[in-house]
Amino acid sequence: MSTAPAIAPVTPLDTRPEWQALCTHAEKVRTLHLRDLFRDDPKRGDELAIEALDLHFDYSKQRVTRETLQMLLALAKACGVEARRDAMFRGDKINVAENRAVLHVALRAPKGTVIKVDGKDVVPEVHQVLDAMSAFADRVRSGEWKGHTGKRIRTVINIGIGGSDLGPAMAWDALKPWAQQGLECRFVSNVDENDFFENTKDLDPAETLFIISSKTFTTLETMANAHTARAWSLKAFGGDEKSVAKHFAAVSTALDEVRKFGIDPANMFGFWDWVGGRYSMDSAIGLSTMIAVGPQGFRDMLAGFHEMDEHFRTTPLERNMPALMGLVGLWNNQFLGCDTLAVLPYCQYLDRFSAYLQQLEMESNGKHVQLDGQHVRWQTCPVVWGQPGTNGQHAFYQMIHQGTKIVPCDFIAFAESLHNLGDHQDLLTANVLAQSEALAFGKTQKEIEGEGVPAWLAPHKVMEGNRPSTTILGRKLSPRMLGRLVALYEHKVFTMGAIWGVNSFDQWGVELGKVLAKRIIPELGGKAAELKHDGSTNALIRRYRAWRGR
């Protein structure tokens, strides 16, 4: 039996005077409209904004006053956000449930930085892995790495799930303009065999390299797909076991299991227990990204991560982009009763960014107990969703503008396009700016009737406005910019978790389903004489078996 770690009691958030003062203050702010806030404060659009690292962060269209911001900052200080931030960067074991450090920031620390875990500097090991990844990526990209029949690799398939899939898959979409021509990355994560089939049906096994991403090499979905990939590949090479080493690499720490699979240990790239899956895209989990954009492109992305890390670590909270983003998110969720957050990138290359942030935010802060195990009495994580504009404008924006639920929005856009196809970028940017303006200010019935709209129709066209949004305007998408954006949201999530007093770095909620699935697998095959689930699950198992003829 493991010994319980010494965890200091956490002061319940709703007993803090700063929290109670915000509850009272919120009653006043709910009666204010953004039209009035901008009318009464002409400098609001300039002063409620931060510019750093080629990012312009405009939160002036959030339903906050300057008093609100001061009160939120006081709450952050009372909850020890800065002290907890410093403890993370120092390598303290702030993941108390697993007694681990939380050091994704070490993955992008420059050589010479000293970050210790249990007295050992981890940065040299990080760079050893990066150097090994770089050498491997260069061999694949140059064609020096040959498959079993002597052909060069044309397609890299990452097999993982969760953080071992979402980050690299998002990065592939985001960084396609920097990817090497003639080299494609694909991603298999779902245990649904359709995922594997569709991603391999048009491929030549002789030109395909699989990266199996599983720290323990036991992840159910990942290893099911890995063994399917192994059989698919072996079939093409007449069952020659030697071919496996030419078409498989591993991101893992399970040396014996990797070797047993047939992968050359020289092509196994490790990471550490102080890297959570959803924070791992800049570790060896990003091997497919490095192969796609090259070692220099990957290191540029790491540099962007590190720049935002330093901004978060050193900038006072009142000018700190991730911290303010977290405080505004907390305000919307706790005090204005907003249950969701729409992340709306106006850049098609960020097609999977919202899906990536779903895991980052909801797996991190979707918790119902504090660090000390006491049940929370307040809302924690919002539901994160979204898709790129302008497509979303013709799908769900209707609800955002006129629905009964208030949906805060993060708009993400860039000043410069990656391609020159006429006036597309101006048209795109006009749309994102128009949407944030329309959400904030809306259109009154009086204005609509003044345009000659009949009185009976006017109510249908009213947009109340006062819908909060933040606009993040970057200069241009690049590997470095992607790193900055991901780190921005990582540290936003950290800030919110620190105030809520939850552990943002464990994910026990996903475990029960895994345990039950392992129990049900043999039952679906008809091997269990007696089913001992609930009535619904038992009936579903029997129906499945009947339709499968078992």
Question: Which residues belong to the active site?
Answer: 363, 394, 514
Residue with tokens 């102080």: 274
Nearest of 333, 474, 339 to residue 415 by alpha carbon: 474
> What is the enclosing helix (H) or strand (E) of 155?
strand 155-159
163 contacts 285 by C-beta, under 8 angstroms: yes
Q: What letter would DSSP give residue 108?
A: G
Is the bond into 208 cis (omega within 30 degrees of 0)?
Answer: no
Q: What letter would DSSP give residue 100?
A: B
* Distance (Å, whole) CA 385 – CA 379: 18
* Distance (Å, whole) CA 351 – CA 477: 13
Q: How far is CA 489 from CA 97, 312, 325, in A?
A: 23, 11, 8
* Distance (Å, whole) CA 65 – CA 108: 36
263 contacts 242 by C-beta, under 8 angstroms: no
Q: Distance from CA of residue 76 to its chain's centroid? A: 23
* Distance (Å, whole) CA 108 – CA 110: 6
* Distance (Å, whole) CA 301 – CA 484: 8
204 contacts 152 by C-beta, under 8 angstroms: no
Is the bond into 113 cis (omega within 30 degrees of 0)?
Answer: no
* Distance (Å, whole) CA 444 – CA 464: 7
Determine the 3-state secondary structure of 519 from DSSP. Answer: helix
* Distance (Å, whole) CA 285 – CA 274: 14
Q: What angle do CA 270, 272, 274 make, to 5 degrees?
A: 160
* Distance (Å, whole) CA 497 – CA 368: 11
* Distance (Å, whole) CA 354 – CA 358: 6
Q: Count CB atoms within 10 A of the CB of residue 52.
A: 15
Determine the 3-state secondary structure of 50 from DSSP. Answer: strand
